[in-house]
Amino acid sequence: MTSERVDHAVKEAQADEANPAVAANRTRSQTAVLALGPLRLTGRAAQLTVQAILLTLLALVVYYRARILSTPFTISALLWIAWQVYWGVSATKTAST
């Protein structure tokens, strides 16, 4: 790194420290937030609610697995998900235009 780049980086860091919004974001801890319409849960309540929703969905999939696996819709959904994953991975490996 040249001395000009070092000086520029030091000035940017000092400017960030002077900015109250940046300083507040550095000191603020991250908390989980779940917002569904007017309902807004934060912290442990949001985490427990998300876990309960995911466990319910998993239980429904296990309970109805015979019906889910024997439908053409499942094959279509799996192919669509596979395509989305493939397209997302290949898009990140190309240069932006």
Look at the block and give the residue holding tokens 């932006």: 96
Task: Find the mean pLDDT for residues 30-38.
Answer: 86
Q: How many domains does the chain have?
A: 3
Q: Treating both helix axes as pointing N-terminal to C-terminal, what angle do 3-18 and 20-27 enclose, rounded to 10 degrees?
A: 80
40 and 24, same structural domain? Answer: no
23 and 10, same structural domain? Answer: yes
Containing domain of residue 39, as a range?
A: 32-63
81 and 94, same structural domain? Answer: yes
Per-residue pLDDT tens digits for 59-86: 988 888 887 777 888 888 889 999 999 9
What is the pLDDT, as a whole number, of residue 69?
75
77 and 59, same structural domain? Answer: no
74 and 97, same structural domain? Answer: yes
Enter the tokens of residue 96.
């932006």
51 and 76, same structural domain? Answer: no
Enter the tokens of residue 43.
């912290």
Q: Would the pTM of this model clear 0.75, i.e. be above it?
A: no
